[in-house]
Structure 1
Amino acid sequence: MYVEELEARIDKLANEIKELQHQKCATQRQLNALRDPVERLPLEISSEIFLQCPFEHDGLGQMGQSKPQMAPLLLLQICRAWTNIASYTPALWARVHMDRPRANILQVWLQRARNHALAVSLRRTLSLDLALVLRRHSEQLTNLYLRLAECNMTHLISDDASWPGLRTFRIGLQFDDEYDKYHRGRLPLAPLRALLCRSESHRIGFGGSLDMGRQ
């Protein structure tokens, strides 16, 4: 038997294995649906059950995580029925914390929240693309928490973003050793590690211990 014939046979068997794996997954999903009592509940009840799923805590309280092993993304991975329930439960997507956020993921997340008031927490970066997503949803945002290594707030300033419902706005500048080594001597206020400004409806903070709101 020639090597080419063996390779062709291996390819054929590999394709058959792949097809069997697809069939197994489809059958498993069907079995999960038959066994799953959640699918037989009215959407209002199953959605309320999903909303009781524990979330991680961040600067704005309990936040949905953009990690696949955390709710609400975890709920999308169980079966098709759970995916449908989670996708059509806007309140699940009304709060989000993202570490190293990506604009396309944030956009889909906030779209799923539909008309709900939004609480958003972002860490490490605020690119122009991310700022554009926030500006598109500025009328829904009530809480915004930015904890960043570098921050260009001009990205958030625009005539098309009025932020009428914003009640809490926190900004934290997060410095690590690598950042300090690179920027040492370039910051005119290098010793400053905290600045917190408060008003009745807005709170703007730069991480650390100095509290200007008490001065």
Structure 2
Amino acid sequence: MISYRNHGHQAWELGGHSLPSTPEQRAALVDIKSQLIRYKDSIEVLEKQQHELEASLSLVIYPVLTLPIEITSRIFILCLPAHGRVRPSPSTAPLLLAQICRSWRDVALSTCELWSSFYFDGPVAFDLTGFGLTANPIVPRDNGARALLQTWLSRAKGYPISLGLNTTFRTVPPAFASLVSSVSEQIQRLDLHILPQQFNRFRLFHTPFPRLQHLATTHSTDKDLRELLKEAPALRELRLLGKEFTLNFSLPALTRLEIREEISKEIFLDLLAKFPVLEHLHFSLEEFGAETISEASIPTLFPHLTSLTLASSSSCFALRLVTLPNLLKLEIPPFAEPTVVLPFLSRSSCTIQHLVLSLGTCFMEEDDDEPLEEALTWLNTFPFVVTLEITSWPALDSLAMYLDSKSLPRLRYLTVSSSIGRNTPDVDYDTLIEMLRHRRNPAQAVKLQKFHLKLDLLGRPPDDHAYEWCPGYLASAALEDLIADGLDFRVSFSSASENGSYTWPAPTDTDPPVPFFP
């Protein structure tokens, strides 16, 4: 490109063509240069501010990132479900924690306990690379599952493992079946809710489970269960659902047994004899012929049993066959007859400290005092109760009157549940507060430490909101004073209009998780 001057004008020769300049072009060029100078000054100011802010931010230390790794790891563990079952999801711990930042990811991946639980529920498609899991019953059942399971549990290293399978597949997913066998020596808890024909294909038999302590199973045959338990000498807790078991095996370390299906009186006595250190038993006696069971001339003595759950009213008749001198916790089912239970209590001379009482009648007809008399009979039967849980209290307006210190002088922890029908009276908070104040009086030998009221509003009309059952302004102030004084007080509601639940006062982050098994 060659330039030249002609009559005071600058012209440009480009590609054989001459483009004469104009005053407008020169003026535009001057304007552009002046704007560049002006913006250059502004850019320099902005760059200076940028550097100052970056330097200031580099000095900021986020407190959460300065915590010792041990504390951060412990916080992560508390993010797991309280019941201990971890169902992999990118929106919950531990996968969620591994996506926040590199530091948290390193801590999460090195915390073995976060990866020691894996519960598999039915048809799930796995995407290990993106930490994604989506329900899709059409995809192949083993799609990515093997890689995910192996990677997941490899992070647990030597930590005890908890595994669960609850599936509707015709066959057990091969990835899960082979995984259980490969890590069997690490498994501490195992939940198998599968069909009987799946056990034969599960390849669990003759696989050692030296650390297995908790087992829950559904629909397995008696033979399959017996073969499996031969390989679990350390089993402490066994939960059986789905059918009657003969329990033709011995577990010397078993301390907790739960059987959901009905058993005969012969099996009831036999299992107590087979498990010499059994501490807790949950059972249901078959109804046919239960009332004909007579008092044994010499009831069998079982000194180790400390907790007993009677899952049906017919189960109470099994008490005629045994003496349990060290029984501390007793759960009484609906429609149980005090006349059946009282001789057992007298003979055993046991001191029931934890009572779970399920009253048979939820709603009362007008002028019907029989349910309240039944409740009072039960309360007067157990004077040494420290912890009391009552379900289906018949009348809320009489709650405080029947829970005075005369009937339960040692009571410390109280939980009451009740279903709210269309004609159920309102909660008499004023009388309830007086009862709580009386129980919290320093002059009392034993002060009430906890009172939880659980109300089921699901039978109420949709426009009946839970907050309408909460304490009013004056009652709230009085209850807040009791809470400030140390009373653990809570009213919770199950309500369709509140999307399932509502609690007063609102729970805080300091509320401890509730333990749950299995």
TM-score, normalising length: structure 2: 0.27
In the alignment of these two chains, the number of paired residues is: 160
Greater alpha carbon shift after TM alignment, 126-135 vs 111-120 = 126-135
Selected match of 2:262 from 166, 190, 210: 210
RMSD: 3.4
1:151/1:173 contact within 8 Å kept: no
After superposition, the Cα gap between the structure-2 partners of 1:133 and 1:36, relative to the gap in structure 1 and judged at 3 Å, is farther
Greater alpha carbon shift after TM alignment, 147-156 vs 68-77 = 147-156
Offset at residue 210 of structure 1 (A): 3.2
Aligned counterparts, 1:87-106, within 5 A = 87-100=109-122, 102-106=145-149
Offset at residue 141 of structure 1 (A): 0.6
**Corresponding letter in the other structure for 1:169:** L
After superposition, the Cα gap between the structure-2 partners of 1:143 and 1:200, relative to the gap in structure 1 and judged at 3 Å, is farther
Offset at residue 140 of structure 1 (A): 0.5
Whole-Å separation in 1 of the counterparts to 2:61 and 2:219: 49
Question: Deviation string for 1:137-187 (max 9, x for gaps)?
Answer: 11101110011256522323366x32111122222249xxxxxxxxxxxxx
Aligned counterparts, 1:81-160, within 5 A = 81-100=103-122, 102-124=145-167, 125=169, 126-149=172-195, 151-154=197-200, 155-157=202-204
Offset at residue 129 of structure 1 (A): 2.4
TM superposition outliers: structure 1 runs of 4+ over 4 Å: 200-203
Question: Deviation string for 1:44-76 (max 9, x for gaps)?
Answer: 12111111214153xxxx222212222222212
* Higher percent of residues as helix: 1
Question: Deviation string for 1:101-154 (max 9, x for gaps)?
Answer: 633322222111110111111210522321111111111011100112565223
Structure ranking higher on relative contact order (CA contacts 8 Å, 6+ apart):
1
Unaligned runs of 5+ in 1: 1-30, 175-191
1:46/1:85 contact within 8 Å kept: yes
2:80/2:114 contact within 8 Å kept: no
TM-score, normalising length: structure 1: 0.61
Whole-Å separation in 2 of the counterparts to 1:158 and 1:147: 16
Greater alpha carbon shift after TM alignment, 80-89 vs 48-57 = 48-57
Whole-Å separation in 1 of the counterparts to 2:203 and 2:253: 18
Unaligned runs of 5+ in 2: 1-56, 125-144, 221-240, 270-518
Offset at residue 80 of structure 1 (A): 2.1
**Corresponding letter in the other structure for 2:213:** R
Are positions 1:77 and 2:99 aligned together? yes
Whole-Å separation in 1 of the counterparts to 2:219 and 2:61: 49
Percent of residue pairs identical: 28
Aligned counterparts, 1:132-211, within 5 A = 132-149=178-195, 151-154=197-200, 155-157=202-204, 161-173=207-219, 193-196=242-245, 197=247, 199-201=251-253, 209-211=261-263
Whole-Å separation in 2 of the counterparts to 1:193 and 1:162: 25
